Amino acid sequence: MPTLSEVARRAGCTPATVSNVLRNRGRVGALTRQRVLEAVEALGYQPHLAARALAEGRGPTIALMVSSIANPFYPEFALAVERAARSSGHFLIICNTNEDPLTGRAYLEQIAGTLSEGVLVMNANLDFADLHKTEARGAPVVLCMWERPHEPPGLPCVAVDFRLAGQLAAQHLLELGHRRIGAIVGSKAAGIHAARYEGFVDALRAAGLDAEQAPVRYARDTTRGGYLATRELLETHPQLTAIFATNDLPALGALHAAADLGLQVPHDLSIVGITDIQLAQESRPALTTVAVPTVEAAELAVSLLRELIEASPRGIRAAAKAPRVCITSAPKLVVRGSTHAVRPDRI
């Protein structure tokens, strides 16, 4: 297998020049670049990524840490990140913490700054102290899809206005005449979906309703969690005409629960979620949801991480300043078959 030094000898330059050409770094003349590329092709040279990582103390990769790869949203987001990373010459490592902070810490200690140049963090239940330590070691960190744009987390982030998403979902149901609306929150009360529920409450109050009287259940952010929460809501509050879920998976679970209870969606019960995963389009009826700019967020996150990597050489911590917050375009309501005007006999 040809080596970097053999390519350099054939091209008549130094190994460092070959490396700069292959990584598109430094200033290399056009003729020299052409000789290097011709030598690479003639010898069939392939860079050894592991060796490069060991030699340079970092690899040409970035890491994406997620809480559960079983959640369909994360593979969709990871695909968008992978495309953006590949276009910038990086490979993507996906680290699934399985909602375990210790697993996340192990990933940070073993990968950040060595196998990966930087880390994207997506709802991975990580301690911020561990993320700051990762930054201090020279591996930039960017939080993806931070849910409170106007409350910076103290780390570079790409933020989405999820409170607005909750408002849009509630306003849609209110405009359809629904007043008896139950809510399913796919996290703990102070968890990652809190802003979405706050937006829902904002809309109810703006319509003159007593938000405290709207029944709410906190559940796991899964189809099963939404199913169980919906059954409990409807068994204890059979007068409900609509359900708002803070994510699409619990909303899909609500569809299943309604079917098992003999209810027709949307004739008997309207259901709306947030995110707009692929499954939302494929359910029957198709799910009305508030779409968030997933691809845009992924591209912004990769772009921000690249800027931080280039501005922060390995082992050198950037001067203290307010971390950047990039805000995506606003979420948008996507109306499909799971919502309809409230029946006249149930107003």
d(CA 151, CA 60): 32
Beta-carbon neighbour count of residue 33 at 10 Å?
A: 16
Q: What is the pLDDT of residues 222-249, one digit of tens each?
A: 999 999 999 999 999 999 999 999 999 9
Q: What is the pLDDT of residue 317?
A: 46
Spans of all domains in the chain: 4-47, 56-139+294-327, 162-292+333-346
Site of tokens 């829902």: 200
Task: Tell me which amino acid residue 37 is.
Answer: L
Q: What is the pLDDT of residues 271-290, one digit of tens each?
A: 999 999 999 999 999 999 99
For the domain bounded by 162-292+333-346, which CATH number is listed? 3.40.50.2300
Q: Is the pLDDT of residue 25 over 80?
A: no
Q: Is the pLDDT of residue 165 over 70?
A: yes
Q: How confident is the model at residue 48 (pLDDT cuts 50, 70, 90)?
A: low
Architecture of domain 4-47: Orthogonal Bundle (1.10)
SS3 204: helix
pTM of the model: 0.83
Q: How far is CA 34 from CA 22, 30, 37, 89, 235, in A?
A: 11, 6, 5, 19, 73
- Buried (b) or exposed (e) across 243-263, using 16+ Cβ within 10 A? bbbbbbbbbbbbbbbbeeeeb
> 80 is written with which tokens?
């968008």
Domain 56-139+294-327 and domain 162-292+333-346 have a common topology: yes
**At the topology level of CATH, where does 56-139+294-327 sit?**
Rossmann fold (3.40.50)
Q: How far is CA 35 from CA 16, 18, 38, 46, in A?
A: 14, 10, 5, 16
